[in-house]
Amino acid sequence: MSIFRSILTGTGAYLPDRVLTNAELATKVDTSDAWIQERTGIKSRHIAADGQLTSDLAIAAARAAMDSAGISAADVDLIVQATATPDQTFPATATRVQAALGITRGAAFDIQAVCSGFVYALATADNFIRAGQSKCALVIGAETFSRILDWTDRTTCVLFADGAGAVVLQAEAASGHDSNSRGVLSTHLHADGRCNDLLYVDGGPSSTQTVGHLRMAGREVFRHAVTNLAAVTHEALAANGLSAADLDWIVPHQANIRIIDTTARKLGLSPDKVVTTVDHHGNTSAASVPLALAEAVADGRIRRGDLVLMEAMGGGFTWGAALVRM
Ligand code: UT7
């Protein structure tokens, strides 16, 4: 029986033009640049223009990823898009992306795991490829969180932002599991639905027939994030017989610099192995990991052959990790 592994052959990113600074936010709610930077590490974030939809961001990031992989629309046979801010309740935003990119083969669907969405989407596409059901997948994380923020709530509106990132995964025949060969080595997903009410949106089609606004018990989420992200990272390394010292890079979910630093410290990882974009991206939910990955690939930090660990945690709770040899 053939064994396939997923090779990550392209990355792409898109950020809306509009930059919203902490100073500007301080004119709208009772906050300060100093508080936001000290508690989160965020200095500025990007916000989608009026009329600019999640699909617009996703399409731009997906195009960039396809260009970097050197593939065309005819090559793609799967689109998995992670988003908690779809254009519409249905159809899936992935199908709008599919149409705009001129892709007509295979499946296109959305995944909803909030900030862990990209890791969930990557795991899903990787499993399609391993099963021999897909040869070339576009995996996208795209969000317009600005649309579900309560702009009068200083505890949340200073944190989240808009953006999109994407990768291309391509099937390659493999003889077995080898952590030195290129590809997705393993993915690890978790959820704990008992924590629904710590991070949620207070609306939805079935409950209120409204979109709702994001609500978060920040301190509680912080506590769970630090524990769960360190645990899932250890799980991913152990599953491959590797240790933190083997990692070239960690690309964490960009929620808060204090969570990122604490997790890295727990793993004994030096800060210069950690990709951080939270200072200029804010928390872009499902887009945060692929945006950070694309930035570090584009500026030459992450190179072919590097061992990269991606991890994320979000509403649900959901959390997960993916270990990839680039
Ligand atoms: O992406 C999904 C996962 N999400 C996360 O990982 C987010 C996790 N949580 C966090 O990142 C942090 O908990 C926050 C950044 C949300 C908050 O930081 P914190 O150090 O946990 O602050 P806190 O919630 O304990 O609030 C401390 C104080 C409070 O005032 P009192 O009660 O001490 O008087 C807040 O009301 O800071 C106040 N505060 C603010 N002050 C100025 C809360 N938001 C703001 C603000 N500006 N924007």
Reply yes or no on whether the pLDDT at 92 is more than 80. yes
Tell me which DSSP letter residue 254 carries.
Answer: -
Reply yes or no on whether the pLDDT at 101 is more than 90. yes
Annotated active-site residue in 46, 188, 213, 253: 253
- pLDDT for the residue numbered 222: 97
Q: What is the spatial distance between Cα 124 and Cα 122, in angstroms, rounded to a whole number?
A: 5
Sign of the dihedral through C-alpha 288, 290, 292, 294: negative
287 shares a domain with 189: yes
Instruction: Tell me how far CA of residue 113 lies from CA of 137, 167, 171, 192, in angstroms.
Output: 19, 18, 25, 12
- pLDDT for the residue numbered 1: 60
CATH of the domain at 45: 3.40.47.10
Active site (annotated) includes residue 46: no
- What is the CA(250)–ligand 1 centre distance, in A? 25
Does residue 229 sit within a domain? yes
Mean pLDDT, rounded, for 60-85: 98
Q: What is the spatial distance between Cα 158 and Cα 21, in angstroms, rounded to a whole number?
A: 9
Q: Report the amino acid identity of residue 253.
A: H
208 shares a domain with 143: no
pLDDT bin (cut points 50, 70, 90) of residue 278 is very high
Report which protein residue has its CA nearest ligand 1's atom 2: 314
Does residue 124 sit within a domain? yes
Q: What is the DSSP string of 56-111?
A: HHHHHHHHHHHHHHT--GGG--EEEEE-SS-SSSSS-HHHHHHHHHT--SSEEEEE
Annotated active-site residue in 115, 136, 157, 195: 115
Retrieve residue 20's tokens. Answer: 């919203």
Report which protein residue has its CA nearest ligand 1's atom 3: 314
| Residue 268 Rama label (left phi>0; alpha psi -120 to 50; beta) | left
98 shares a domain with 14: yes
Which of 25, 222, 262, 279 has most ligand 1 atoms within 8 Å of CB, for mutation? 222
pLDDT bin (cut points 50, 70, 90) of residue 177 is confident
82 shares a domain with 141: yes
Mean pLDDT, rounded, for 165-173: 98
Domain end marker among 173, 195, 223: 173
55 shares a domain with 149: yes
Which of 39, 223, 224 has most ligand 1 atoms within 8 Å of CB, for mutation? 39
205 shares a domain with 158: no
Give the total residue count for the chain.
326
- pLDDT for the residue numbered 4: 96
Does residue 217 sit within a domain? yes
- What is the CA(18)–ligand 1 centre distance, in A? 25
Active site (annotated) includes residue 283: yes
Mean pLDDT, rounded, for 9-29: 98
* Residues flanking ligand 1, CB < 6 Å: 31, 35, 39-40, 115, 154-155, 158, 218-219, 221-222, 225, 255-256, 259, 283, 313-314
Does residue 321 sit within a domain? yes
Does residue 283 sit within a domain? yes
For residue range 106-148, list pLDDT tens digits in order: 999 999 999 999 999 999 999 999 999 999 999 999 999 999 9
- pLDDT for the residue numbered 175: 83
Domain end marker among 116, 143, 173: 173
Q: Report the amino acid identity of residue 264.
A: A
**Which residue do the tokens 């295979």 mark?**
106
- The strand pair at 318-325 and 183-191 is best described as antiparallel
Reply yes or no on whether the pLDDT at 12 is more than 70. yes
pLDDT bin (cut points 50, 70, 90) of residue 178 is confident
pLDDT bin (cut points 50, 70, 90) of residue 77 is very high
Does residue 178 sit within a domain? no
Closest CA to 313 of 252, 251, 269, 265: 252
125 shares a domain with 67: yes
Q: What is the spatial distance between Cα 142 and Cα 325, in angstroms, rounded to a whole number?
A: 23
Does residue 240 sit within a domain? yes
9: containing domain: 4-173
Does residue 245 sit within a domain? yes
Which of 195, 219, 254 has most ligand 1 atoms within 8 Å of CB, for mutation? 219
118 shares a domain with 194: no
254 φ/ψ angles, rounded to the nearest 5 degrees? -95, 75
- HSE at residue 121, side-chain half, CA atoms within 13 A, is 35
- pLDDT for the residue numbered 83: 98
Mean pLDDT, rounded, for 15-28: 98
289 shares a domain with 228: yes
305 shares a domain with 220: yes
For residue range 215-244, list pLDDT tens digits in order: 999 999 999 999 999 999 999 999 999 999
Reply yes or no on whether the pLDDT at 2 is more than 90. no
Domain end marker among 173, 202, 221: 173
Number of separate domains in the chain:
2
- pLDDT for the residue numbered 176: 80
Tell me which DSSP letter residue 253 carries.
Answer: -
166 shares a domain with 219: no
- What is the CA(202)–ligand 1 centre distance, in A? 19
- What is the CA(155)–ligand 1 centre distance, in A? 6
Q: Report the amino acid identity of residue 278.
A: V
Separation of CA 11 from chain center: 12
**Which atom of ligand 1 lies nearest, measured to the CA of 256?**
11
Mean pLDDT, rounded, for 302-317: 98
Contact assessment for residue 85 and residue 147, using Cβ atoms and an 8 Å cutoff: yes
Retrieve residue 230's tokens. Answer: 């360190």
Contact assessment for residue 199 and residue 315, using Cβ atoms and an 8 Å cutoff: yes
Closest CA to 220 of 138, 117, 315, 154: 315
298 shares a domain with 254: yes
- pLDDT for the residue numbered 75: 98
- Which residues lie below 8 Å from residue 259, measured CB to CB, with a gap of 6+? 222, 225, 226, 229, 252
Active site (annotated) includes residue 224: no
Give the Cβ contact number of residue 218 at 10 Å: 16
What percentage of the chain has pLDDT greater than the value 70?
99
